[in-house]
A and B are shown apart, each in its own frame.
Chain A
Amino acid sequence: MDNIIINGMAFSMPLFIIAVGGIYSESSGITNLALEGLLGFGAFCGGLTVAVIEHLFPAGSALPMYIALFAATVGGAAYAVLHGVLCITFKANQVISGVVINILSLALTAFLANQINTAVFGKTSNKFLLAVSPRIDIPVVSKIPLAGAFFTSVYPFEFIIIVVAVMAWYVLYKTPAGLRIRACGDNPHAVDAAGGNVAAIRYGAVITSGALSGLGGICFAYSISSNFSPSIFMGFGYLSIAAFIFGNWKILPTLATCLLFGFARSGGYALVTKLELPGSYSDLVLTMPYVLTLVLLIFFSKTNHPPRALGEIYDKGKR
């Protein structure tokens, strides 16, 4: 039972922060299917940073990890500019742009990782090894039966994600900037009439989504595989899209969805181990979050209220 909670949290937290990124972008009216590519590119930047700076630190130091988290955030934000340019400045179809960004991200990171490994580090591999992340037991509360598992062997990044997510929630719902972002997704013409710069606000939102996705990406890299490799493109970005659509483009319901996904996944794995099924059954378990998403989408899509101007290209001249 404890394992289900520990692993479930480690999976749902990165998923959640990526979904929050998606909410920022979509609240401002820019459809963001690029989350998958953004998280991969962020993880790549983090992995690369670790590979470059690792030897400067004593073995076992946790500092490179924090630097990697930061680098991934910046890298994701930088890559998201591309999505912004395509969708906002070049007025490309936002769905197509998102998919293009994903395909390019996979190609680019695979190529660069290989090229840099060959040229700089002299080995043929498309991976950057990351050190194993330390895990923390919080004293006292971790001793509580059952609920204590939420505080046992926690990845440090989970705290960072919670802090960032609270900040993101506050900015989006309690500040004028957040109001403007949401207004851009609802009625960009009103924002324009009120003197706001729709393009600039949307760029800000898309870049934020890139930053948060990059952060989520490197967290996945640390928790799942302790390395960056092209196998980071496992569809978690799409899963987080499903999470916030099911969460009705609101942060708190999205958190609930992400927790559900995380526990469905870890619970399934625990079941396979418990029943001593052969390893191939883990393939079936892997489908659980996806099946759940599909079923939930079928039941709840009718009542969904996406931002009204979502996916529409803002055209000043159009009334």
Chain B
Amino acid sequence: MPEILEKKTLAPKIHQFKFYAPRIVKKAKPGQFVILRANEYAERIPMSIAGLDKQKGTLTIVVLEVGKSTAFLGSLETGDVILDLFGPLGQPTEMGNFGTVVCVGGGIGIAPLYPLIEGFKSFGNKVITIIGARSQNLLIKEKELGSVSDEIICTTDDGSYGMKGLVTDALAYVLEKEKVGLVMAVGPVVMMRAVSDLTKTYAVKTMVSLNPIMVDGTGMCGGCRVVVDGKNQFACVDGPDFDGHQVDFENLLMRQRAYQIQEKNSYESYQCKVLNSVKVV
């Protein structure tokens, strides 16, 4: 069973886990994802790969606690084991020389940018990285991403750090001053939609990494279907990267709300249980 080699809490409710998974790491490429299942009761959760160490055979993922399964994952520590780690899944991000590439990350979507930036750099691109969060304490990985990018711009909604505003404000600034060959966006659906809307007006190719509701991750259930250029695609096998100018974001946003109520109830009752067990102790 996969053991947690290292856990780091990067921000409130945001944790980084490193696993030893040589077989997955050997095959994994930037842009792919894994599915993990923490315990017998847990969901199969798709997670973008946030780091790969080919020599050591380790894989990094970053988890945001949003529901019961992710909260349980967040409660695990270095040395704990999870039941299942499965992958690599999906198509790798299409790499190549695009001249200047802007990598845009929002919230938890900042984490998987690291292997992407490394990849784009290895193809000789100039990489400008834009990362954004609601507030300074939620802005993760600035140093790490800055160390591999040519330039990094941070934004916060509340102006507590970097540029006050959204990642799209910073992106508009970059698009005005530079000729950009590709924009790669990873983050909340609304952010990826806003980025795609903006780059469309500049006619700059834009890829987005989608993370819809998914069960098996092998093309079997079709739960992750997204509309791209008017046709259904399965994010798990055809994606997760798609042309942002072709994605039906409205449908994606709607489908992401499918289990909102159930998930909220399940998370709340889990938190109650955790609180009660703490009291007993």
Partners in one complex: no
